């Protein structure tokens, strides 16, 4: 990238709703020295989108939502584990060791995908679509319509993130 390329990158990133701190960090991680990065920010002026509002950062939104789902899954795992250990009567029929393992594995997948979105990694889009498709199919199979709405919202976030620039 030349200085013009840095300026264009800063402008596009700002229009995508990425903060200046994140832009600086990405440029420095890409090997640009502090002087070139600082010069790019001196010359450029923060520009909103054509509507006057900064554009929503769908990468960050997808990251946060996938992360929250992973936290919820780990919480369920811990609850299931405690109930399984104490052999509680009301749950002993549906909480098996396989249910515990599945809950932990799915929660870990949510977390891994969230980290891909955090890094703006191209594979996050494919991983998000595949993982959400599997979950959506299992929800349709079980007839859980309300949970399916949450998954469709995540599909929307993955789609919108796929249309944003990748660093």
Range of the domain at 142: 58-162
Query: How many domains does the structure of the chain reveal?
Result: 2
**Same domain for 68 and 38:** no
∠ CA 13-7-118, rounded to 5°: 25
Q: Contact at 8 Å (CB) between 70 and 107?
A: yes
**Same domain for 8 and 82:** no
**Same domain for 95 and 67:** yes
Confidence band, pLDDT 50/70/90 cuts, at residue 54: low
**Same domain for 95 and 15:** no
Rounded mean pLDDT of 3-20? 77
**Same domain for 96 and 122:** yes
**Same domain for 91 and 36:** no
Give CA–CA dist 119/26, Å, rounded: 10
Predicted TM-score (pTM) of this structure: 0.58
**Same domain for 146 and 92:** yes
Q: Which residues contact 73 (CB under 8 A, 6 or more apart)?
A: 103, 104, 106, 107, 110
Residue 50 domain flag: no
Give CA–CA dist 71/53, Å, rounded: 31
Give CA–CA dist 78/90, Å, rounded: 17
**Same domain for 91 and 12:** no
**Same domain for 81 and 158:** yes
pLDDT in tens, 70-122: 898 899 889 888 888 887 776 666 677 887 888 899 889 889 988 988 888 88
Residue 75 domain flag: yes
Residue with tokens 């990405």: 26
């Amino acid at each position: 990238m030349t200085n013009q390329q840095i300026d264009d990158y800063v402008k596009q990133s700002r229009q995508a709703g990425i903060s200046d701190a994140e832009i600086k960090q990405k440029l420095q991680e890409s090997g640009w020295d502090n002087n070139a990065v600082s010069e790019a920010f001196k010359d450029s002026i923060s520009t909103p989108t054509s509507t006057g509002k900064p554009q929503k950062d769908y990468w960050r939104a997808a990251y946060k939502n996938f992360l929250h789902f992973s936290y919820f899954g780990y919480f369920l795992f811990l609850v299931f584990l405690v109930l399984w250990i104490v052999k509680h009567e009301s749950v002993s029929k549906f909480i098996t060791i396989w249910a515990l393992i599945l809950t932990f594995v799915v929660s870990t997948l949510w977390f891994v995908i969230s980290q891909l979105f955090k890094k703006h990694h191209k594979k996050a889009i494919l991983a998000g679509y595949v993982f959400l498709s599997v979950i959506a199919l299992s929800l349709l199979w079980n007839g859980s319509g309300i949970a399916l709405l949450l998954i469709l919202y995540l599909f929307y976030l993955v789609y919108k993130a796929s249309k944003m620039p990748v660093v």
